[in-house]
A and B are shown apart, each in its own frame.
Chain A
Amino acid sequence: MSADLEHFGSADLKRSGAAIELRGLTKTYGSSQAVRGVDLTIEPGEFMTFLGPSGSGKTTTLNMIAGFVPPTSGDILVDDEPLNAVPPHRREMGMVFQGYALFPHLSVWDNIEFPLRQRKIPKAERRELVRTAVRTVQLEGFERRRPAQLSGGQQQRVAFARAIVYRPPVLLMDEPLGALDKKLREALQEEIREIHRKVGTTFLYVTHDQEEALTLSDRIAVYDDGRIVQVGTAKELYERPQSLFVAQFLGESTLLRGVVHPDDRGRLHAGAYGIPLPGGHTVRGDAVVVIRPERLRLSAEQPAPGRAGVPVTVRDETYLGHSRKLTVELPGGSTGLVREGPGTASGLRVGDTGFATWDPAMAAVVPDK
Chain B
Amino acid sequence: MTAPSPGTRPGRPARPADRRAGRQADRARGRSATAVERAPGSRHWLLIVPTALLVLAGFGYPVATIVVRSVTQPEPGLQNFSWLLHDATALEVLGRTLVVAAVATLITLVLGYPYAYLMTVSGPALRGLLMLAVLMPFWTSLMVRVFAWVIILQDHGVLNTVLDALGLGRTQLLGTTTGVLIGMCQILMPFMVLPLFNAMRSIDRRLVQAGMICGAPPWKAFWRVFVPLSLPGVFAGSLMVFILSLGFYITPAVLGSPRQELLPNALYTQISELLNWGRGGALAVALLLTAGVLLAVTAWVSKRVTGKSAQVTGGLEL
Contacts and interface: CB of A to CB of B under 8 A. Distances in A.
B209 A87 contact: no
B221 interface: yes
Contact of B228 (A67, A101, A105): A105
B213 A114 contact: no
Contact of A119 (B213, B215, B228, B306): B215
B24 to A, nearest CB: 18
Contact of A101 (B209, B216, B217, B220): B209
Interface in A101-117: 101-105, 114-115
B229 A105 contact: yes
B210 A118 contact: no
B173 to A, nearest CB: 41
B232 to A, nearest CB: 10
A91 B213 contact: yes
A146 interface: yes
A101 B226 CA distance: 12
Contacts of B211: 103, 114
B207 interface: yes
Contacts of B216: 89, 114, 118
A97 interface: yes
Contacts of A101: 204, 206-207, 209-210
B214 interface: yes
B98 to A, nearest CB: 30
- Name the residue in A66, A115, A119, A162 with the highest tally of chain B Cβ atoms < 10 Å from its Cβ: A115
Interface string B278-318: 00000000000000000000000000001100000000000
Given A97-B206, A103-B207, A66 B213 contact: yes
B225 A88 contact: no
A87 B212 contact: yes
- Name the residue in A68, A88, A93, A104 with the highest tally of chain B Cβ atoms < 10 Å from its Cβ: A88
A87 B306 contact: no
A166 interface: yes
Contact of B212 (A89, A94, A105): A89
- Name the residue in B215, B218, B220 with the highest tally of chain A Cβ atoms < 10 Å from its Cβ: B215
In the A-B complex, the 5 residue pairs with the smallest Cβ-Cβ separation, listed nearest first, are A118-B215, A115-B214, A101-B210, A88-B212, A95-B213
Interface of A: 66-68, 87-95, 97, 99, 101-105, 114-115, 118-119, 146, 162, 166, 172
22 contacts: A66-B209, A67-B213, A68-B213, A87-B212, A87-B218, A88-B209, A88-B213, A89-B218, A89-B221, A90-B215, A92-B215, A95-B210, A101-B204, A104-B229, A105-B229, A114-B211, A114-B216, A114-B224, A118-B214, A118-B216, A118-B220, A166-B215
